[in-house]
Amino acid sequence: MKMSNRVYNILFHTHTVSGIIISAILYVIFFAGSFSFFRDEIISWERNEPVMESSIPKLDLNVMLDTLNHRHELYGRDISFTRFLENRRLSVNLSAPKNASKEKKKGRRGNFFYMNIDDYKTYNYASNYSIGEFLYRLHFLAQLNLYGRSGYLIAGIVSFFFLFAVITGVLVHWKKIISNFYVFRPKASLKNVWTDAHTALGILGLPYQFVYAVTGVFLIISTTVMSPPVLSFLYEGDSKKMYDDMGFGQKEFPMAMANLENEVDINSFVEVTTSKWSNFYIKTVKIYNYGDANMHIEISGHPEYTSRFIGEGELVFNAKSGEIIDEKNPFENTSYIDGASGLLYRLHFGDFGGAGLRIIYFILGIASCFVIISGVLIWLVARDKRNVEEKKRKFNRWVGWIYLAMCLSMFPTTAFTFLAVKTFIHEFDASRMTSIYHIFFYSWLVFIILFSAKRDNFFTNKYCLIIGAVFGLLIPIANGIISGNWIWITYSKQQYDILFIDVFWLIVSILTFTIAINLKRSVQEKSRTKAKPLSKRQKINAPVQ
């Protein structure tokens, strides 16, 4: 591939600038996203609720509906049970009663909550909040949604620039992309060390990073495109038409305004679906016009990933007659929208290959974090030269100190949050969400301030690993003391989701502690420190490492 010097310089500088602009936010996205691959296991570990057999076909939906009917008066409502995650709580969505007048509807609005399948207790979003949910939402900056969807928008812009940085990075390094992969010079200058590490890990993780750049842009666009401003511009405020065009339209069945004579067995419709389609994962059961003569039941989901990678299916039953009035076969004639969106969703969430695939995704995600840091360090070291103005050098050093403090301290912050939540927050009430926010963000801020004030990148790197490792080793101990779930107990009870998190933190902590104690200062730094003690002014102006 021939490339003129002008084109090369343009691509090189755009790759550098786009990478630096997004690097800090991108690090947060990749780090939090890597942990959120284990969201289901984290939630089970945190709540002490092993998943075991809790799929919708195993549940008694009739009992759940009777329980809800005593609490909310369900007649005339649309009701949906959805299993978003592999845990022991279903998402329940209740519409406002369709048969009520406007005055009555004011006191009988729709509702959304989570319901435990064991004791039928209900939780709102705040009381159901967990570390797994927090890390999952942090990876697309949902916590910044103070005004509309600003967090999603920022994450989308970062994903787009990341895609741009990946493409330009490949074009810039194309000629030497193979030869440079085998080059590693640990005793060379810092710039060469970071360059070699950046290139090698960048090539290894290139397919993963490209997939996440593309799927990340798609997911954010699919969210922000449906926002009210875009909706008003493209569809003149007609949300129904837009959702129909996108394949997300909701069915509507008018009320007959007459009670259903016979009691309906919801479980029987689930059984019909499972017998009709084997290897079909039921995700949602939706009931239209509950208790009305025109009551309908919709059961939707997707094929098990062991039988088919993509596809969406649903059956719609008339509750009175039991007939199937609408069918969408997930094993035949998958539409373009279902196929394309399903493929992108599967690739992004990595939920089609079991725990093994998610572990691989996690490792590649953490490796991508290192690629991000090494890219910025290349930029910083290259600008720490004597021919650069002293004010700029000092500014660049502060950029390096603060940048590394913010990124690297996410590891001890995350470990501390796991430990603190398991030790101190045992109640699932409205304050749980706020408590998790406070623990994570305040501890992160403390780490950032302390490590930035130290002004020593080697110290920041080493002690972030050590502190995170110490907290990580305490996590399974705290779980055993607080919950009684010691590793050997969860193993004997086959509660592998809870066991996974304890073993995960043990392995990660041992590895990071081993790396930390073997870290040595660079040859350049040793030569500087041996020359003579530095004055306070000289310490401030010392080159970044």
- CB 403, CB 455: distance < 8 Å: no
Q: What pLDDT was estimated at residue 413?
A: 97
Residue 204: burial class (beta carbons within 10 Å; 0-12, 13-18, 19+)? middle
Q: Please list, in sequence order, all residues whose beta carbon lies within 8 angstroms of the beta carbon of residue 394, skipping any fewer than 6 positions away.
A: 540, 541
Q: Please list, in sequence order, all residues whose beta carbon lies within 8 angstroms of the beta carbon of residue 498, skipping any fewer than 6 positions away.
A: 41, 44, 45, 48, 50, 479, 485, 490
Structure tokens at 353: 């290959």
Q: How many beta carbons lie within 10 A of that of residue 396, not counting itself?
A: 19
Strands 280-288 and 122-123: unpaired
Strands 111-116 and 79-82: unpaired
Strands 122-123 and 111-116: antiparallel
What is the full DSSP assignment across 248-311? -PPP-----SSB-SSPP-HHHHHHHHHHHSTTEEEEEEEEESTTBTT-EEEEEEEE-TTT-SS-
**Which residue in 62, 97, 57 sits closest to 77, CA to CA?**
97
Q: What pLDDT was estimated at residue 533?
A: 45
- H helix intervals, 37-147: 39-47, 61-72, 102-107, 131-138
Q: What pLDDT was estimated at residue 104?
A: 55
Residue type, 29: I
In order along its 545 residues, the chain shows pLDDT tens digits of 566 777 766 666 666 666 666 788 899 999 999 999 999 999 999 998 887 666 787 888 999 999 999 888 888 899 999 988 888 889 999 998 887 655 455 546 788 999 998 889 999 999 999 999 999 999 988 888 765 567 888 888 888 888 877 887 777 766 666 666 666 555 555 556 666 667 777 777 788 888 888 888 888 776 665 555 555 566 666 666 666 666 566 778 888 888 888 888 999 999 999 999 888 989 999 999 998 999 999 999 988 887 788 888 899 999 988 899 988 888 887 877 788 888 888 888 888 878 889 999 999 999 888 888 887 777 777 777 777 777 878 887 888 888 899 999 999 999 999 999 999 998 888 899 999 999 999 999 999 999 999 988 889 999 999 999 999 999 999 999 999 999 999 999 989 999 999 999 999 999 999 999 987 776 555 544 444 444 544 444 444 44
Number of continuous H segments (helices) and E segments (strands) in the chain = 21, 8
CA 212, CA 138: separation in Å to the nearest integer? 16
CA 32, CA 136: separation in Å to the nearest integer? 7
Q: What pLDDT was estimated at residue 529?
A: 42
pTM summary value: 0.84
Q: What pLDDT was estimated at residue 377?
A: 78
**Which residue in 477, 445, 480, 447 sits closest to 461, CA to CA?**
447
**Which residue in 159, 207, 174 sits closest to 7, CA to CA?**
174
- CB 452, CB 401: distance < 8 Å: yes
CA 435, CA 425: separation in Å to the nearest integer? 8
Q: What pLDDT was estimated at residue 350?
A: 84
- H helix intervals, 350-484: 354-382, 390-408, 410-424, 432-454, 457-483
**Which residue in 81, 85, 82, 68 sits closest to 130, CA to CA?**
85
Q: What pLDDT was estimated at residue 423?
A: 93
CA 280, CA 312: separation in Å to the nearest integer? 10
SS3 string, 519-541, reads: CCCCHHHHHHHHHCCCCHHHHHC
Q: How many beta carbons lie within 10 A of that of residue 462, not counting itself?
A: 19
The DSSP secondary-structure symbol of 495 reads -
CA distances from 363 to 208, 357, 370, 405 (A): 11, 10, 11, 22
